[in-house]
Amino acid sequence: MSSSPTGPSAPATPPADGPAAFPDPQPALPPAGRGPDRVVPTWVDPVAAQAGEAVGGPWGRHAVTGRALFWTPLRVCLLFTTAVLALAWLKQSPCADGDWAGSVQYTHFCYSDTVPLFGIHGLDSGALPYLDSAVEYPVLTGAFMAVAATLGRTYDDLAAAAGLLPQVPPVQAYYVATCLLLSLCALVTARAVLGASGHRPWDAAMVGLSPLLLVHAFTNWDLFAVALAACGLWAWARERPVLAGVLLGLGTAAKLFPALLLGALFLLCLRAGRLRVWLRAAVAAVAAWLVVDVPVALLAPENWSLFFRLNSSRPADPDTLWNMAITASGGTLLDGPLAEGETPVVLNALVAVCVLLVVAALGWLVLRAPVRPRVGQVAFLLVAGFLLVTKVWSPQYSLWLLPLAVLARPRWRSLLAWQATEAVLWGVRMLWYLGTDDRGVGTEWFFLAVGVRDLAVLVLMGLVVRDVWDPDDDVVRTSWPGVDDPAGGPLDGAPDAVTLRRRQLVRDQVT
SS (H, E, C) 271-300: HHCCHHHHHHHHHHHHHHHHHHHHHHHHHC
Q: What is the pLDDT of residue 510?
A: 43
> How many angstroms separate the Cα of 373 from the Cα of each of 87, 240, 255, 493, 503?
36, 20, 26, 11, 19
Prediction pTM value:
0.89
**Residue 387 and residue 255: Cα distance in Å, rounded?**
13
Going from N- to C-terminal start, the domains of the chain cover 74-506
3-state SS class at 192: helix
Q: 462 falls in which pLDDT band (50, 70, 90)?
A: very high
- In terms of Cβ atoms closer than 10 Å to its own Cβ (0-12, 13-18, 19+), residue 299 is exposed
**Residue 282 and residue 279: Cα distance in Å, rounded?**
5
Which of 52, 82, 410 shows the shortest CA–CA distance to 214?
82
Q: Is the pLDDT of residue 269 over 60?
A: yes
**Residue 194 and residue 1: Cα distance in Å, rounded?**
8
Cα dihedral 212, 215, 218, 219 sign: negative
**Residue 378 and residue 409: Cα distance in Å, rounded?**
11
- CB-based burial, 356-390: b 16+ in 10 Å, e otherwise: eebbeebbebbbebeebbbbbbbbbbbbbbbbbbb
Residues facing residue 501 across a β-bridge: 504
Q: Give per-residue pLDDT as tens, 59-101.
A: 666 566 666 677 788 999 999 999 999 999 999 999 999 999 9
3-state SS class at 488: coil
Peptide bond into 170 cis (omega under 30): no
In the chain, the amino acid numbered 487 is A
Provide the residue count of the chain: 511
Q: Is the pLDDT of residue 22 over 60?
A: no
Q: Give per-residue pLDDT as tens, 47-63.
A: 766 666 666 666 666 56
Q: What is the pLDDT of residue 96?
A: 94
In the chain, the amino acid numbered 173 is A
Q: What is the pLDDT of residue 342?
A: 85
Q: Is the pLDDT of residue 184 over 90?
A: yes
**Residue 162 and residue 380: Cα distance in Å, rounded?**
50
